[in-house]
Chain A
């Protein structure tokens, strides 16, 4: 079973910041939080990952709470091309661990 909980769907206006929450209350100390997204009929795409510090790259920002029990993926200026299913996953780093996908959040960007 997936170790994370996400809302099934969210809407966001184009140009606004999209904030996608994820609960991972059972995360262990050496597990990272990864985010992937899947655009319709494509393979999943890696977005970002982090351990306990906030992270930012060209796609998104990841905010992890101090207790690490939850996190938020932020798309700063959402576009229609960001419409996708977003998956929050916890996994060990540098291991051949399989990824178990939950149901993710279906993000709709509204024009």
Chain B
């Protein structure tokens, strides 16, 4: 199946700093990618829909100025957690749909574990 990568896989940062997470579709193009957050023992929570060439669509309750999303190309979306605080510590997962494959299956990245000290 199609492959989605994330970088970094794990990051530890100090409170107040900004962290950028990259999501790449390695062997297909994706006009739409999705960003999720997952706290321990909880399900994935959709944060936003990333659209290539346009603004992201954020879910209710997600601060767009804190979680900056840039979908610069058909294979790359980035999530920047600005002025991170300990409560932002979480597992961040992206996904992308291979729209040309005909299966409409959504493929997920391996996740990025963010720890804010």
Contact = CB atoms under 8 A, between A and B. Distances in A.
Nearest to B91: A41
Interface residues of A, number: 22
Interface string A61-102: 000000000000000000000000101000001111011111
A43 B9 CA distance: 11
SS class of chain A's interface: helix, strand, loop or mixed? loop
Contacts of A102: 43
| Band of interface residues on B | 20 to 34
B97 interface: yes
Contact of B95 (A41, A87, A99, A100): A99
Interface of B: 1, 4, 6, 31-32, 34, 36, 43-46, 49, 91, 93, 95, 97, 99, 104-111, 113
A108 interface: no
A58 to B, nearest CB: 11
B113 A101 contact: no
